[in-house]
Amino acid sequence: MKDELIKKRLRYAAVLVIFLILFTLLLLLNIILGSVDVRISDIVKILFGQGGNTTDQGIIWKVRLPRTMAAVLLGGALSLSGFLLQTFFNNPIAGPYVLGISSGAKLTVAIYMVMMFSRTHVVGSYALIIAAFLGAMLSMGFVLLMARTVRSASMLIVSGVMIGYICSAITDFIVTFADDASIVNLHNWSRGSFSGVSWQDVQVMAVVVLFTSAVVFLLSKPIGAYQLGESYAQNMGVNIKAFRITLVLLSSILSACVTAFAGPISFVGIAVPHLVKSFLKTSKPLLVIPICFLGGAIFCLGCDLISRTLFSPLELSISSVTAVIGAPIVISILLRKKVRG
């Protein structure tokens, strides 16, 4: 028995260490690499506030650092949101993107942006999140209604994808008829990208994402009980109704926050939790939740790096990169698990 326990602990520690190394490595690469070459010695100086020319300073401080931070926070948020949705629906391929929640958030953010741009050209970060949250809840509401009537896991996903299409269509419609100035902005954002994030945005997302994630972590225990199904969870003393509402709210806040700042990003929410669980060989939320956050950050740092540097100075949308890497993982889940229904 002792051997098994030690083996398990070693495995957890190994995953954590490898993830931390990857994280640090990608964090540095994201700051170092870019369409403009800045020498490493200069970067070190700039980071420690000692000189470097103003252009380089601007690139590092105003562009690369906030963008990197956004990738970390939003990546973590996305994969946690996916993990919560998978737990909630007891479905390994549930995620904010496939269930149409990201698209719902995108729709309300687009409406909000078009309305605000025509008047002030300024959009507040918190207001954006609130708009996105409302949209996310709207889609979530539809999905929940569907989940009541359709009992099969795959039908749920199909209806989620349909809701996503409807929301995207309406968004396109709005973009087409919006003013010229806002279209540019909207177009870039609606494809999904970490670019153009300011320090102010980073502050807001840090507050929202870190707070929500901490709450999720503190809910590890009931989440673990819920993994056995509602009846057993209730028998363990979980207040099911309240817990279900909490899960919906938390996952919506997380995916809304991502969509508000970076637009819809696909597959991270499914691929990362799945990879993390199979690396750890456990689904214990106490371990999976923090590692999932870290994993999401790594995944998005990596994908953003690829999207920026692969065809530099041209930039790919982040969703194209996450889809290329994430979709095969989703397919492999489908093949291996034979999702019921």
Residues 95-154 interacting with other proteins (rule: CB under 8 A): none
Residue 82: CA count within 13 A, CB half-sphere: 33
In the complex, minimum distance from the CB of residue 217 to other proteins, in angstroms, rounded to a whole number: 8
Nearer to other proteins, 216 or 260 (CB): 216
Check if the beta carbon of residue 106 is closer than 8 Å to that of residue 329: no
Near other proteins by CB under 8 A: residue from 250, 277, 296, 297: 277
54 forms part of the interface with other proteins (CB under 8 A): no
Residue range at the interface with other proteins (CB under 8 A); choices 129-137, 190-198, 279-287, 314-322: 279-287
Nearer to other proteins, 246 or 283 (CB): 283
Burial class (CB in 10 A: 0-12, 13-18, 19+), 185: middle
Q: Is the peptide bond before 313 cis (omega within 30 degrees of 0)?
A: yes
In the complex, minimum distance from the CB of residue 340 to other proteins, in angstroms, rounded to a whole number: 8
In the complex, minimum distance from the CB of residue 222 to other proteins, in angstroms, rounded to a whole number: 8
In the complex, minimum distance from the CB of residue 228 to other proteins, in angstroms, rounded to a whole number: 6
Nearer to other proteins, 145 or 286 (CB): 286
User: Which residues have C-beta within 8 Å of that of residue 129, sequence separation ≥ 6?
Assistant: 204, 208, 256, 257, 260
- Binding-residue total with other proteins (CB under 8 A): 29
| Cα distance from N-terminal residue to C-terminal residue, the chain | 38
Cα 131 from Cα 171, distance rounded (Å): 14
286 forms part of the interface with other proteins (CB under 8 A): yes
309 forms part of the interface with other proteins (CB under 8 A): no
282 forms part of the interface with other proteins (CB under 8 A): yes
Residues 200-259 interacting with other proteins (rule: CB under 8 A): 218, 220-221, 224-225, 227-229, 231-232, 234-240
In the complex, minimum distance from the CB of residue 117 to other proteins, in angstroms, rounded to a whole number: 45
194-200 long-range contacts, CB within 8 A, separation 24+: 194/67, 194/70, 194/71, 194/74, 194/261, 194/262, 194/300, 194/304, 194/318, 195/67, 195/315, 197/66, 197/67, 197/69, 197/70, 197/261, 197/262, 198/62, 198/66, 199/62, 199/66, 200/125
181 forms part of the interface with other proteins (CB under 8 A): no
281 forms part of the interface with other proteins (CB under 8 A): yes
* Token pair 């689904």 in the structure block, residue: 283
In the complex, minimum distance from the CB of residue 225 to other proteins, in angstroms, rounded to a whole number: 6
- Reported as type and span, the H/E element at residue 32 is helix 2-32
Task: List residues binding other proteins (CB under 8 A).
Answer: 1, 4, 90, 92, 218, 220-221, 224-225, 227-229, 231-232, 234-240, 277-278, 280-284, 286
